[in-house]
Amino acid sequence: MARQVENGVNPIFTERWSPRAFDESTLSEAELNRLFEAARWAPSAYNAQPWRFIHARRGTPQWETFLDFLIPYNRGWAQRASALVIAISQEQFVPPGKTDPISTGTHSYDTGAAVAYLALQAHLAGLGAHIVTGFDKEKARTTLGVPAGYQIESAIVIGKKADPDVLSDDLKAREVPNERKPLASIVAEGKFSFQ
């Protein structure tokens, strides 16, 4: 069933989805920077902006190295994408006027918001952005030289959408936008009460 626009929400939220069929095209640095620019404007606790992004584009020497972080299932479809981004978060920060670092406890939460902004901007740019957690985070940490104090959060597979025929039959069957729980299952007024 096609996603429905309900409660007057802007269609950008229902039209964005996570594709797996990509067309093997390349992406310019400027196109990618537009996505990071959107991420830059996400809200964060203390405005600490704990997100960091390390990327590789198809056609560059790093591309295969980044693909190798992915578990085989994700690599199977992501290899036709145009860019791979590793999202990491800084666990502590030094508040303005202080000298000692503190932990807000929200570095992952904040980085998730930034990644969501990135994904929405990708959609606006006519691209697909598919967030994945199925990758070897320790391999990414070692290979990319990510120091202690930074958490590896997710990988984001970005590309131009292609015909689902490029996928295996089982993935092709799943290449449609999925559904969501109804509002009453996630929102309650006044007390903990969900359907």
Report the interface residues with ligand FMN, using CB under 6 A.
17-18, 74, 131-134, 154, 177-178
Give phi and psi for 82, each to the nearest 5: -110, -25
In angstroms, what is the minimal distance from the CB of 129 to ligand FMN? 9
Token pair 């740019």 in the structure block, residue: 125
Helix axes 29-40, 107-124, angle to 10 degrees: 130
In angstroms, what is the minimal distance from the CB of 96 to ligand FMN? 30
Considering just the CA atoms, what is the radius of gyration of the chain in Å?
18
In angstroms, what is the minimal distance from the CB of 75 to ligand FMN? 11
In the complex with ligand FMN, the residue whose CB is nearer, 21 or 27, is 21
In the complex with ligand FMN, the residue whose CB is nearer, 94 or 173, is 173
Please tell me what DSSP assigns to residue 85: E
Reading across the β-sheet that carries 51-57, which strands appear in turn? 51-57, 83-90, 150-159, 128-132
In angstroms, what is the minimal distance from the CB of 99 to ligand FMN? 34
Shortest-Cβ-distance residue relative to ligand FMN: 134
In the complex with ligand FMN, the residue whose CB is nearer, 7 or 99, is 7
In the complex with ligand FMN, the residue whose CB is nearer, 29 or 138, is 138
In angstroms, what is the minimal distance from the CB of 188 to ligand FMN? 22
In the complex with ligand FMN, the residue whose CB is nearer, 43 or 101, is 43
Cβ–Cβ < 8 Å for 64, 154 = no
Strands (E), 29-124: 51-57, 83-90
Give phi and psi for 16, each to the nearest 5: -70, 135
